[in-house]
Amino acid sequence: MKSRGMPTIGQRNRLQYIILGLLNQHPQTGYDLAKAFENEIGEFWQAQHSQIYPMLKRLEAAGEISHEDTVTGEKLAKKKYTLTSAGREKLVTWVSQPSPELTPSKDEFILKLYFIKTANDPRIQPMLREQYQLHQSQLHHLQQRQETVFPNQKAIDQAYGHYLILDHAIERESHYVEWLAQYLEK
Amino acid sequence: MKSRGMPTIGQRNRLQYIILGLLNQHPQTGYDLAKAFENEIGEFWQAQHSQIYPMLKRLEAAGEISHEDTVTGEKLAKKKYTLTSAGREKLVTWVSQPSPELTPSKDEFILKLYFIKTANDPRIQPMLREQYQLHQSQLHHLQQRQETVFPNQKAIDQAYGHYLILDHAIERESHYVEWLAQYLEK
DNA sequence: TCAAAGCATGTAATTAATTACATGTTCGTT
DNA sequence: AACGAACATGTAATTAATTACATGCTTTGA
């Protein structure tokens, strides 16, 4: 049974939890959140501001976050959102829940490969080269970010989860590149 | 400018191309396609029958596939779909196109990890163990499929793309498991 | 001082995807 | 002969996600 007029957010909607998690790190604006989806978690999830702002309103209506109005300069209005205790509880519950699902990777290149029948198809090598370039440069990008964000042990200790997922992403890209190289003709 | 009444399918909608690719391998029914999304390409894309049947109608309306009615037993009606030459052309165009996009992996476990701040958080080890189990068993599953689907070189030569992506998936899971093991406490 | 890039927030329209609803047949096993 | 699993096809309702529309302020550098 669903109550009238009050739309609820589905259990499986992960965006809400990601926003709660980001706000738990420190209070920030919708704009800041949108940046985070381009940078540190862009490897793992993406969301546009047009999805973020409505979600902030829903979470606030649900009493899981609250905002404070601030002004930059003369009149640029910002809304800095903070977790409420209900929001923090919901976040903890989510993180503590098991994650028994394998999500499909949705890699378009891999899909295309699947539809190529023979090893001597002339399209294979150019495709491999393109992906090699792409993932090689992504690997470099991630490695550089690791150097700047985690220059010492202290930085790692202060954001251990962030360190872990960046390390994971680097390993993943690194092996992807190796896999491609294995099938690349010299 | 968009013509009235005739909804078109977006360029970026990949489901249509996957269906074209599957039908190019051999004519089959919507039910068969739904099975394929659970098995051989389930690692890379998923679609429910409720998404597949409408898409088949749209592709047929667009003249890219056509169907033939067949009957199994007394009266079980099936629709066996085949690519038209327009559909084959569209498929070839898609495969030949560059794929310069990095798709986020949407791994819920990784997202949860990101929100854990310190290395001694008691939730980390149980989470790692759960994922280790999950990916270990997925790895076994993939390896078994490789053995049954590609028992010899001839099988590989006849479905080279399929072989490549299965190999890729196995490598990926294998390294994922290694990565997890590296952070697991003995 | 002016222009461009970036900061900041929103809504509308559309499309993609999931979940639920709905129905009927065939095959294999007990 | 009866039952359950698998075959087979669809639609409806809902939710998630993308793309487009829309507006205004601030900072930086030429």
Judge whether residue B3 has pLDDT over 60. no
So what's the pLDDT on residue B10?
Answer: 72
How many helical (H) and strand (E) elements, i.e. helices and strands, does chain A have? 8, 2
Does any strand D atom come closer than 7 Å to the Cβ of B102? Answer: no
Q: Does any domain span residue B5? A: no
Q: A61 with A123, same domain?
A: no
Half-sphere CA count of A177, side-chain side, radius 13 A: 14
The secondary structure of chain B, three-state, reads CCCCCCCCCCCCCHHHHHHHHHHHHCCECHHHHHHHHHCCCCCCCCCCHHHHHHHHHHHHHCCCEEEEEEEECCCEEEEEEEECHHHHHHHHHHHHCCCCCCCCCCCHHHHHHHCCCCCCCCCHHHHHHHHHHHHHHHHHHHHHHHHHHCCCHHHHHHCHHHHHHHHHHHHHHHHHHHHHHHHCCC
Domain boundary among the residues B66, B96, B126 is at: B96
- CA gap B89, B8 in Å, rounded: 18
So what's the pLDDT on residue A73?
Answer: 86
Q: Across residues B50-77, what is the average pLDDT?
A: 95
- Long-range pairs of A53-58 with CB within 8 A, sequence gap ≥ 24: A55/A15, A55/A16, A55/A19, A56/A19, A56/A30, A56/A81, A58/A7, A58/A9, A58/A16
Residues 41-80 of B with CB under 8 A from A: 41-46
- Average pLDDT, consecutive stretches of 10 residues, N- to C-terminus, chain A (186 residues): 51 94 98 97 97 98 97 92 98 97 96 96 97 97 95 96 97 98 93
Query: pLDDT tens digits, residue range B86-123?
Result: 999 999 999 999 999 999 999 999 999 999 999 999 99
Residue-range definition of the domain harbouring residue B46: 14-96
Q: Does any domain span residue A157? A: yes
Q: Chain-wide mean pLDDT for chain B?
A: 94
Residues of chain A in contact with residue B142, where contact means CB-CB under 8 angstroms, are none
Q: Work out the minimum CA distance from B102 to partner chain A, whole angstroms.
A: 8
Residues of chain B in contact with residue A111, where contact means CB-CB under 8 angstroms, are 14, 17-18, 21, 41, 44-45
For B153 and C14, how far is CA from C1' in angstroms?
47
Q: Does any domain span residue B140? A: yes
Identify the residue among B51, B168, B179 best suited for mutation to test binding to A, counting A beta carbons within 10 A and taking the highest.
B168
Judge whether residue B2 has pLDDT over 50. no
Q: Does any domain span residue B20? A: yes
> Is A96 part of the contact surface with chain B (CB cutoff 8 Å)?
yes
Residues of chain B in contact with residue A140, where contact means CB-CB under 8 angstroms, are none
Q: Which nucleotide is nearest to B11 (CA to C1')?
A: C15
Q: A48 with A83, same domain?
A: yes
For B110 and D16, how far is CA from C1' in angstroms?
20
Domain boundary among the residues B71, B96, B121 is at: B96
Say whether A87 sits in a helix, a strand or coil: helix
| CB-proximal positions of chain D, under 7 Å | 7-13, 15-21, 24-27
So what's the pLDDT on residue B7?
Answer: 58
Q: A52 with A117, same domain?
A: no
Q: Does any domain span residue A120? A: yes
Q: Across residues B48-61, what is the average pLDDT?
A: 98
Residues of chain A in contact with residue B110, where contact means CB-CB under 8 angstroms, are 44, 165, 168
**Maximum CA pair distance of chain A?**
65
Q: Does any domain span residue B4? A: no
Q: A115 with A90, same domain?
A: no
Judge whether residue B8 has pLDDT over 70. no
Q: Which nucleotide is nearest to B34 (CA to C1')?
A: D8
- A39 DSSP 8-state letter: T
Confidence of residue B127 (pLDDT cuts 50, 70, 90): very high
So what's the pLDDT on residue A6?
Answer: 54
How many domains would you assign to chain A? 2
Q: Across residues B77-86, what is the average pLDDT?
A: 97
Judge whether residue B1 has pLDDT over 80. no
Q: Across residues B41-64, what is the average pLDDT?
A: 97
So what's the pLDDT on residue A7?
Answer: 58
Q: B161 with B126, same domain?
A: yes
The CATH number that applies at residue B31 is 1.10.10.10
Residues 97-156 of B with CB under 8 A from A: 98-119, 121, 123, 127, 130-131, 134-135, 138, 156
- CA gap A168, A165 in Å, rounded: 5
| CB-proximal positions of chain C, under 7 Å | 7-13, 15-21, 24-27
Does any strand D atom come closer than 7 Å to the Cβ of B3? Answer: no
Task: Say if CB B27 and CB B81 are below 8 A apart.
Answer: yes
Q: Specify the length of chain A in residues.
A: 186
Judge whether residue B29 has pLDDT over 50. yes
CA-wise closest residue to A87 among A67, A60, A55: A60
